[in-house]
């Protein structure tokens, strides 16, 4: 049954301009450049360059303005609005069969799996083994491991491809794959991966006098991987030394040989290395002279944009016209829409610059001691609300500014998010940043005896002695955030 009723609601709706500003505020410098280029291409009323006071000049009815008006009236908007471009050029397939394609294709390079197949093509092996080896290469993961069981692959070939193959044939094909470069490819677990690499090194070393010692170390390392891998993975080095009846120096040299191996050989391919280098463009630049800090926006972050004077004048001219036909009204609507869009975009970019500047300046003021010294222990506790209260803006605005933004300082380039941290209270009642505690924890671990690494409980006692009231579980939490393994895995032979 339908009912009619009157309701009064208070809703908050964002205008298109506010949405545009929020999107611009969140993106980093490099994305801003792309966004500006897109807007310049889409809107002819937007130009690069310093703004001129055209609006003030147009308010004065002078003889010069009248002459410009007369000249602009001769401008044919139909030439701009009614494009003679054929419809077929506006479709997805916008070129004829006889038209030359001058586009330059991008080079994709050689993938890691293509590189393995190319190596396979150089081997003199039977066709059936080559096909099985190619199938196994297709089953490797990004690290170069064969995670699937051979029996499962046999069943897949039988049910999906209709190919009946014996497991022994796949094992022979896998042996061929494991001969490819880099060493360790095709291993089914970490142990086999390390063994494949070490065995190839052992076979490659010539039995010369000056290399006999290394060959002995490699043989011992192979025995460790073969018979004592569990103890090795848990770093029970004393147990290995006792079982193999060797001195500590021989064990250390053997472990050094294992340490040089690559646990993820697939990541050494050209395809994997293409994305490892990350180029960071800082949004802010901070310089310090005579203890005076100077903050500037990256010039790529503050481009000069303006509304086209020609479009402003056209809009003023047609708006002040006495009578307008339908074509002139359409022309005026077109020009006004483009000018308004350009004005909104310019205002959004300026507002972005202003918000970025005052937010970053507040962060610098709050962390003044740190930015003057560069010492992480000088970082004060700071959350998003602290900065939002100072600049009188919403927390979400500060979050958008801190997102994916970097500042270049004399001590390095840092992500803005790294300056925000929770607070802790010391025994004296002083509030300190959790970053300060993490720094001291990191220094304590770096100075520990690697023969007997400090457990989380002992690390907690060290911090308590320094006045930081911190529990063992909090120590474990901070240690994991720093990417430091547990004490057992930090054990080394000096």
Residue 456 sits in a domain whose CATH number is 1.10.10.60
Beta bridge partners of 287: 294
pLDDT of 187: 92
Whether 164 shows a pLDDT value over 80: the answer reads yes
Q: Provide the 8-state DSSP code for 421.
A: B
pLDDT of 22: 78
Q: How would you classify residue 419: left for phi > 0, otherwise alpha for psi between -120 and 50, otherwise beta?
A: alpha
Q: Kindly state whether residues 315 and 396 are assigned to the same domain.
A: yes
Lowest mean pLDDT, pick from 44-53, 132-141, 158-167, 455-464: 44-53
- Higher pLDDT: 99 or 6? It is 6
Q: Which residues of 347-375 are buried (b: 16+ CB within 10 A; e: fewer)?
A: ebbebbeebbbbbbbbbbebbeebbeeee
Q: Kindly state whether residues 295 and 336 are assigned to the same domain.
A: yes
pLDDT in tens, 287-296: 998 888 999 8
Q: Kindly state whether residues 433 and 326 are assigned to the same domain.
A: no
**In a domain? residue 230:** yes
Percent of the chain with pLDDT over 70: 77
Q: Which of 131-145, 307-321, 323-337 has the highest mean pLDDT?
A: 131-145
Whether 361 shows a pLDDT value over 90: the answer reads yes
> Into how many domains does the chain fold?
3
| Phi and psi at residue 457, to the nearest 5° | -65, -40
Whether 465 shows a pLDDT value over 50: the answer reads yes
Q: Kindly state whether residues 384 and 351 are assigned to the same domain.
A: yes
Which of 390, 420, 450 lies at the terminal end of a domain, its last residue? 420
Residue 208 pLDDT grade (very low, low, confident, very high; cuts 50, 70, 90): low
Residue 73 pLDDT grade (very low, low, confident, very high; cuts 50, 70, 90): very low
Residues 6+ apart with CB under 8 A from 344: 16, 17, 20
Burial class from Cβ neighbours inside 10 Å (0-12, 13-18, 19+) for residue 301 reads: buried
Q: Kindly state whether residues 467 and 350 are assigned to the same domain.
A: no
pLDDT in tens, 258-272: 888 998 888 765 444
Which of 238, 253, 270 lies at the terminal end of a domain, its last residue? 270
Q: Kindly state whether residues 266 and 291 are assigned to the same domain.
A: no
Q: Kindly state whether residues 280 and 266 are assigned to the same domain.
A: no
**In a domain? residue 90:** no
Whether 302 shows a pLDDT value over 70: the answer reads no
Whether 128 shows a pLDDT value over 70: the answer reads yes
- Higher pLDDT: 458 or 94? It is 458
Whether 58 shows a pLDDT value over 80: the answer reads no
pLDDT in tens, 380-439: 888 888 999 999 988 888 888 888 889 999 988 998 888 887 766 666 656 667 777 888
Q: Kindly state whether residues 258 and 116 are assigned to the same domain.
A: yes
pLDDT of 358: 93
For 330, the domain range is: 14-78+275-420
For the chain, the straight-line distance linking the first and the last C-alpha, in angstroms and rounded, comes to 83
With tokens 């010391």, the residue in question is 426
Q: Kindly state whether residues 306 and 416 are assigned to the same domain.
A: yes
Whether 360 shows a pLDDT value over 50: the answer reads yes
**In a domain? residue 330:** yes
**In a domain? residue 484:** yes
Q: Kindly state whether residues 198 and 281 are assigned to the same domain.
A: no
pLDDT of 277: 47
pLDDT in tens, 433-457: 777 788 888 888 888 888 888 888 8
With tokens 């202003």, the residue in question is 354
Q: Kindly state whether residues 255 and 297 are assigned to the same domain.
A: no
Whether 303 shows a pLDDT value over 80: the answer reads no
Q: Kindly state whether residues 453 and 384 are assigned to the same domain.
A: no
- Higher pLDDT: 94 or 173? It is 173
- Higher pLDDT: 57 or 476? It is 476
Whether 75 shows a pLDDT value over 70: the answer reads no
**In a domain? residue 95:** no
**In a domain? residue 326:** yes
Mean pLDDT (the chain) is 79
**In a domain? residue 357:** yes
The stretch 363-368 carries a mean pLDDT of 92
Say if CB 356 and CB 297 are below 8 A apart.
yes
Whether 274 shows a pLDDT value over 50: the answer reads no
- Collect contacts of 19-27 with beta carbons under 8 A, ≥24 apart: 20/344, 20/345, 20/348, 21/348, 21/351, 21/352, 22/400, 24/348, 24/349, 24/352, 25/352, 25/355, 25/356, 25/397, 25/400, 25/401, 26/400, 26/403, 26/404, 27/404
Residue 377 pLDDT grade (very low, low, confident, very high; cuts 50, 70, 90): confident
- Higher pLDDT: 3 or 108? It is 3
pLDDT of 105: 44
**In a domain? residue 398:** yes
Which of 270, 301, 323 lies at the terminal end of a domain, its last residue? 270
Lowest mean pLDDT, pick from 123-127, 140-144, 298-302, 410-414: 298-302
pLDDT of 359: 93
């Amino acid at each position: 049954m339908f009912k009619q009723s009157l309701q009064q609601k208070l809703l908050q709706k964002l205008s298109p301009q506010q949405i545009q500003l929020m999107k611009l505020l969140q993106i980093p410098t490099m994305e801003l450049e792309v966004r500006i280029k897109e807007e310049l291409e889409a809107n002819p009323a937007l130009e690069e360059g310093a703004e001129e006071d055209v609006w003030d000049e147009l308010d004065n009815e002078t003889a010069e303005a009248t002459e410009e008006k007369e000249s602009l009236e001769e401008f044919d908007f139909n030439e701009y609005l009614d494009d003679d471009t054929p419809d077929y050029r506006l479709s997805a397939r916008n070129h004829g069969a006889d038209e030359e394609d001058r586009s330059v294709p991008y080079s994709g390079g050689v993938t890691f799996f293509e590189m393995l197949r190319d190596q396979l093509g150089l081997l003199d092996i039977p066709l059936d083994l080559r096909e099985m080896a190619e199938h196994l290469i297709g089953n490797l993961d990004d690290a170069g491991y064969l995670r699937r069981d051979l029996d499962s692959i046999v069943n897949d070939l039988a049910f999906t491809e209709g190919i009946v193959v014996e497991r022994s044939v796949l094992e022979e094909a896998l042996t061929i794959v494991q001969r490819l470069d880099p060493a360790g490819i095709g291993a089914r677990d970490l142990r086999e991966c390390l063994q494949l690499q070490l065995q190839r090194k052992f076979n490659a070393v010539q039995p010369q006098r000056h290399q006999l010692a290394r060959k002995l170390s490699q043989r011992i390392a192979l025995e460790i991987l073969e018979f004592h891998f569990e103890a090795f993975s848990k770093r029970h080095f004393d147990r290995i030394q006792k079982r193999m009846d060797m001195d500590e120096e021989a064990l250390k040299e053997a472990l050094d040989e294992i340490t040089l191996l690559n646990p993820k050989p697939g990541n050494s391919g050209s395809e994997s290395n293409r994305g490892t280098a990350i180029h960071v463009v800082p949004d802010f630049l901070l310089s310090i002279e005579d203890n005076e800090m100077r903050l500037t926006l990256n010039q790529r972050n503050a481009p000069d944009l303006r509304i086209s004077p020609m479009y402003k004048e056209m809009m003023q001219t047609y708006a002040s016209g006495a009578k307008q036909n339908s074509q002139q009204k359409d022309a005026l609507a077109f020009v006004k829409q483009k000018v308004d869009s350009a004005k909104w975009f310019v205002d959004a970019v300026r507002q972005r610059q202003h918000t970025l500047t005052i937010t970053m300046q507040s962060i610098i003021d709050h962390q003044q001691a740190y930015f003057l010294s560069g010492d992480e222990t000088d970082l004060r506790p700071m959350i998003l609300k602290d900065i939002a209260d100072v600049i009188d803006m919403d927390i979400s605005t500060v979050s958008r500014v801190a997102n994916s933004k970097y500042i270049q300082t004399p001590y390095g380039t840092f992500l803005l998010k790294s300056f925000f941290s929770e607070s802790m209270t010391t025994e004296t009642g002083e509030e300190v940043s959790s970053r300060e505690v993490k720094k001291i924890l990191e220094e304590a671990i770096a100075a520990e005896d690697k023969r007997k690494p400090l457990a989380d409980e002992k690390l907690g006692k060290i911090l308590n002695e320094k006045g930081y009231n911190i529990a063992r579980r909090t120590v474990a939490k901070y240690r994991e955030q720093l990417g430091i393994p547990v004490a057992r895995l930090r054990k080394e032979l000096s």
